[in-house]
Every structure is written in C-alpha cells, then in structure tokens.
C-alpha cells in the first residue's frame, strides 16, 4: 500500500473555519497564559501577576456567586439535600419544581431525576421566563411557547443566524452588525459564509446608534448582497452604551421599513449603571409602537446567566424569546435544536433563579437582594472609576461606561508607532496591547478585534477586577501610556489629538 497522507491540513481545512477570528480568546490571551506559567515556574518579570481584563468572566475575577442560585442548582444536582436543614425552604421549593418538570420520574420523594430536558428547555422554566419578561416589560404579553432555553446566549445567536443565512451564491445573506461589535457575530458570519454588513456606532456621541448610518450601510450593502438581519447589542459590548428609547424606536422603524429580522442581544439588561440611563427591551418598544409593528416585525432577543449580577459563565445558561416567527419555521427551529438534544440542565436551573428570584415573603429574599445589590453597586462604582482614571491620561479618551462590563477607550498611537507596527505586519493596537501585557502584566484586547473606524485605535477592558486591583490596573495603564508616548516623543501631539 501507499503511505498515509493527512487529509486535514491547512490547505484542505474548511476555509470558513479559517476565516473565523475571535480576539477575546485570541493571540494576546494565549501570550498572557504563557507569561502566567512563566511566573508560576519562578520566572521574573517587572510585575508579579497577570491581570486578565480580557473577558467578561465575573467569577474568575473574584466576584462572588449569588448564594441562592448555587443552592438551587446544588439541590437539583443532589436531591438528597432536599432533606438537609441547612438549605432554605424557597430554594428547595424551586429545585423540587424544576426536577418535577424535567422529565425525570418521581418515585417517592428523593428519587427525582435530572435527565435530558425537552430540546426547547424545561417547560416550567420557560413559563417562569415568560412571566419575568411580562413583569420586566410592564405588562407587555410574553408567550412561553416563544421561549427557548440555550447553551449560553452564543448558542441562541448562532442558531438563529443559521436559519437566516442561506448558502446561495447569487443572493448571499447580509447581516448588519455594529462596529465595534462582539466578535461572536463576525465569527459566526465568517463561518456561515454570510456577508458582514458594518454599521458604525457614533463614538463622539457616546457610541449611540444613528439611524442614518443604518440607512447608509443598508443601501451600500444592497449592491452586493441581500441584507436580511439587523443585530443590535444593547447595552453595548464592547462599547458600554445604553440605548435610548427614541433610538430603539428609530431602529425598529427602520427594520420595519426594510423587512429586516431583528436580533437584539440584551444579555447586559441588568447591567445599567448610569443614573440617567434605563434598559428598554426591543420587544417593549415594539409593543409601544402599536400592533402594526408588534404583530409583524420578526424579533429575537437573547439573554444569559453569564452576565448580569449572577455572572454564572460556567453553567452555560441562556434563553431567547422570538416573536412573529413563521410557525413552520418555528418547527424547523425546534427540529434543528433537537439534534443537539437539550441545553445543559444546570444552566437552565440557573436561568430559572434569575427570572424567579426570592419574593419578599420568602426566607432568602434578604440575602439575595443584598448580594445582588453589592455586585451591581460595585460594578457601578468601577464603571465610574474606570472612566475617570482613563480620561485623565493624555492621549486616552473613554466614553462613559453606562452599562455592560467594559470600557472601550480610544487610544492615541503616535504615527511612528503605527509605522513600526505596520513594518512588523501587526495591527498598531495589537502591538500596543502586547507591549502593555509584557511590561505591566495587564491583559486587554485590541480594538481591532472588535472593529473600529479606520485610523482610530482602542482596547477593550472589563471592569470586573476588584476595585483595588482595578485601580492598580488603571494606574499601570496610565503610566504605560505616558511612557509609550514619550518613547515616540508624542506626548504633546497626544494631548492635541484625542480631546
């Protein structure tokens, strides 16, 4: 016989996989891991620890989990604990209810089980989610049959895109996404070979979404593809803005006019810090626009257990609500979801606690709201702190962090540094972030991983480190940036450039 030759090489690899980019866990994060190992093995650096501000992973940064949520999930996992006096009644009640709805058989009291759920998720959790949405949206009706549990929000977003993107070469699907964006979107679009249609958020206006820019992007795209999907991230990732009701109304009107399917990424709906901002769901605003809109525009909204005040990233919980979906298409969606059997039941249980928290007359109410308040209060303080310290650095300008978990400051990179990066075949902000990492141990993600206007440079950092550590981080950024500017003799220039 002949010799075996690999069939899977860079030449034969699915080119759509090759095209995927995902900066949040990209080269800079791999480098950070290498430095961490080097330090652990006794290596010396000008710093003693790597501070990872690259990813929205609350617990990894020391944020405490919500006790009640963990209690409910632990009870579901090990129902013998339903007998233990150290778990509160309200947690037990919820666990029992979830287990009974989960398809497991209840033989006696302690043999409740935890098996595959329905592909759409556990019915009683879907019902709880619908009730939660109705309350959140001040009475706008929510039908639990439109709710689907997902494996984190990412899974839901990818599933909906997969329905919408058809592989026909003559009419490729255009997917409108904000720039800057969360790179799940660009990655999914690349993998599905759809067309990424960029609309730019207005940095000078606190990253607002300007409907004229949507029109421009749409009209330009129509020349080479069929734009059918409009993705919005509110509160913004990586940009941290919270959209006004007026803005959302304009966007929905635009979607209505152009027959677009709206995907509203609302995973940061509980993360709003600016006192003059409020979260408005796309669904509620659609309702307020009247039945002509509410009964027609196709809208999917995504939520997650990973963000908010719970920060339960590991459980991979999430859900989506889809309104005005064609009933036959809905059956197709269910079929597609059923191939993967079901989302993880622990994530579903985590989601249930978020939408069904302890009530005032329940024993865990006090502790739950105390813990929730502490997490959100600390995030609000850190949002302010971040904005203030960054804006005091010459050559850095940071919009207010109104919501979500990130600052996305604009950084002035001197022309000589830009040239140097280009000579190295590197994005200038990548060079900047790599040097920041190597000199200070701070790991942030270059703006180029999210998209930015040509010639502007940014980085994304989370506000998740503890206040103490965040202050250290920001002061190190301050010192590094000044040193960086001085190195290129550009301190004066910087002060003129970004202000």
The CB-side HSE value for 319 (13 A sphere, CA atoms) comes to 30
Nearer to a copy of itself, 253 or 372 (CB): 253
Q: How many residues bind a copy of itself (CB under 8 A)?
A: 108
275 to 294: interface string for a copy of itself, x by CB under 8 A: -----------------xx-
439 C-beta neighbours (distance < 10 Å), count: 16
Nearer to a copy of itself, 463 or 498 (CB): 463
Return the HEC string of 455-483. CCCEEEEECCCCHHHHHHHHHHHHHHHHH
Query: Residue 353 Cβ, how far from a copy of itself at the closest point, in Å?
Result: 12
Nearer to a copy of itself, 339 or 423 (CB): 339
Nearer to a copy of itself, 103 or 288 (CB): 103
- Written as one string, the DSSP assignment of 357-414 is PPPTTSTTHHHHHHHHHHHHHHHHHHHHHHHHHHHTSTTEE-----BTTEE--EE---
Nearer to a copy of itself, 338 or 359 (CB): 338
184 C-beta neighbours (distance < 10 Å), count: 21
C-alpha 119/C-alpha 336 separation (Å) is 9
How is the beta sheet containing 317-323 ordered, strand by strand? Answer: 147-151, 317-323, 299-304, 261-265, 226-233, 173-179, 195-200
Query: Residue 107 Cβ, how far from a copy of itself at the closest point, in Å?
Result: 7
Site for a copy of itself in 358-377 (CB under 8 A): none
Query: Residue 97 Cβ, how far from a copy of itself at the closest point, in Å?
Result: 16
Nearer to a copy of itself, 262 or 417 (CB): 262
Site for a copy of itself in 136-175 (CB under 8 A): 151-152, 154-155, 158, 162-167
| 336 Cβ neighbours under 8 A, 6+ residues apart | 159, 162, 163
Query: Residue 407 Cβ, how far from a copy of itself at the closest point, in Å?
Result: 20
Site for a copy of itself in 17-46 (CB under 8 A): 17-18, 20-22, 24-26
Q: How far, CA to CA in Å, does 390 sit from each of 57, 383, 443, 480, 493?
A: 22, 11, 16, 12, 18
The span of 60-68, 274-282, 361-369, 388-396 binding a copy of itself (CB under 8 A) equals: 60-68
In DSSP terms, 175 is beta-bridged to 196, 229
Nearer to a copy of itself, 3 or 454 (CB): 3
Site for a copy of itself in 295-354 (CB under 8 A): 296-298, 306, 311-316, 324-326, 328-329, 332, 335-336, 338-347
Query: Residue 288 Cβ, how far from a copy of itself at the closest point, in Å?
Result: 16
Q: Per CB under 8 A, does 71 bind a copy of itself?
A: yes
C-alpha 188/C-alpha 155 separation (Å) is 10
The span of 38-46, 53-61, 131-139, 434-442 binding a copy of itself (CB under 8 A) equals: 53-61
Q: What backbone torsions phi and psi does residue 101 show, to the nearest 5 degrees? A: -85, -5
Query: Residue 328 Cβ, how far from a copy of itself at the closest point, in Å?
Result: 5
72 to 111: interface string for a copy of itself, x by CB under 8 A: -xx--xx--x--x-x---------------xxxx-x---x
306 C-beta neighbours (distance < 10 Å), count: 24
The span of 186-194, 232-240, 375-383, 434-442 binding a copy of itself (CB under 8 A) equals: 186-194
Site for a copy of itself in 106-135 (CB under 8 A): 107, 111, 113-117, 119
Query: Residue 62 Cβ, how far from a copy of itself at the closest point, in Å?
Result: 5
Q: What backbone torsions phi and psi does residue 33 show, to the nearest 5 degrees? A: -65, -40
Q: How far, CA to CA in Å, does 411 sit from each of 12, 286, 484?
A: 39, 37, 11
Closest CA to 182 of 149, 154, 162: 154
Query: Residue 491 Cβ, how far from a copy of itself at the closest point, in Å?
Result: 37
418 C-beta neighbours (distance < 10 Å), count: 18
Query: Residue 191 Cβ, how far from a copy of itself at the closest point, in Å?
Result: 8
C-alpha 406/C-alpha 400 separation (Å) is 10
C-alpha 449/C-alpha 430 separation (Å) is 9
C-alpha 2/C-alpha 242 separation (Å) is 62
Nearer to a copy of itself, 218 or 315 (CB): 315
C-beta separation of 442 from 25 below 8 A: no
Site for a copy of itself in 212-271 (CB under 8 A): 228-229, 253, 256-257, 259-261
């Amino acid at each position: 016989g002949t010799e075996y030759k690999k069939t899977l090489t860079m030449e034969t690899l699915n080119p759509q996989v090759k095209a995927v980019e995902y900066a949040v866990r990209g080269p800079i994060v791999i480098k950070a891991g290498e430095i961490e190992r080097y330090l652990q093995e006794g290596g010396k650096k000008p710093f003693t620890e790597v501070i990872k501000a690259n990813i929205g992973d609350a617990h990894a940064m020391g944020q405490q989990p919500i006790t009640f949520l963990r209690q409910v999930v632990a009870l579901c996992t090990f129902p013998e604990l339903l007998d233990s006096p150290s778990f509160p009644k309200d947690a037990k009640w919820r666990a029992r209810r979830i287990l009974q709805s989960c398809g497991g058989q209840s033989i006696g009291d302690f043999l409740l089980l935890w098996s595959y759920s329905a592909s759409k998720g556990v019915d009683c959790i879907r019902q709880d989610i619908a009730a939660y949405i109705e309350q959140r949206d001040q009475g706008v009706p929510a039908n639990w049959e439109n709710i689907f549990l997902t494996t984190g929000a990412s899974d839901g977003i990818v599933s909906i895109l997969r329905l919408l993107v058809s592989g026909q070469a003559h009419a490729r699907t255009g997917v409108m996404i904000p720039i800057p964006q969360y790179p799940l979107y660009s990655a999914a679009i690349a993998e599905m070979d759809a067309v990424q249609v960029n609309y730019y958020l207005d940095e000078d206006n606190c990253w607002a979404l300007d409907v004229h820019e949507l029109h421009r992007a749409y009209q330009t795209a129509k020349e080479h593809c069929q734009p059918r999907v409009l993705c919005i991230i509110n509160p913004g990732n990586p940009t941290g803005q919270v959209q006004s009701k007026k803005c959302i109304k304009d966007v929905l009107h635009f979607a209505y006019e152009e027959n677009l399917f709206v995907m509203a990424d609302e995973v940061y709906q509980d993360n709003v810090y600016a006192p003059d901002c409020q979260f408005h769901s796309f669904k509620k605003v659609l309702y307020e626009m009247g039945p002509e809109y509410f009964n027609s525009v196709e809208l999917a909204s995504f939520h997650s257990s990973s963000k908010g005040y719970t920060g339960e990233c590991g459980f991979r919980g999430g859900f989506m609500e889809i309104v005005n979906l064609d009933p036959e298409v809905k059956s197709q969606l269910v079929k597609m979801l059923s191939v993967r059997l079901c989302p993880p039941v622990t994530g579903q249980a985590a989601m249930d606690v978020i939408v069904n928290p302890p009530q005032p007359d329940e024993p865990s109410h006090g502790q739950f709201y105390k813990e929730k308040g502490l997490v959100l209060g600390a995030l609000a303080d850190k949002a302010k702190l971040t904005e203030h310290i960054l804006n005091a650095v010459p050559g850095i300008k940071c919009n207010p962090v109104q919501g979500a978990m990130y600052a996305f400051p604009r950084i002035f990179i001197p022309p000589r540094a830009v040239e140097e990066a280009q000579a190295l075949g590197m994005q200038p902000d990548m060079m900047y972030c790599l040097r920041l990492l190597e000199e200070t141990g701070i790991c942030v993600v270059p703006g180029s991983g999210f998209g930015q206007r040509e010639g502007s440079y940014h980085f994304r950092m989370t506000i998740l480190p503890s206040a103490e550590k965040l202050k250290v981080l920001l002061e190190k950024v301050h010192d590094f940036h000044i040193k960086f500017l001085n190195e290129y003799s550009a301190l004066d220039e910087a002060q003129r450039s970004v202000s």
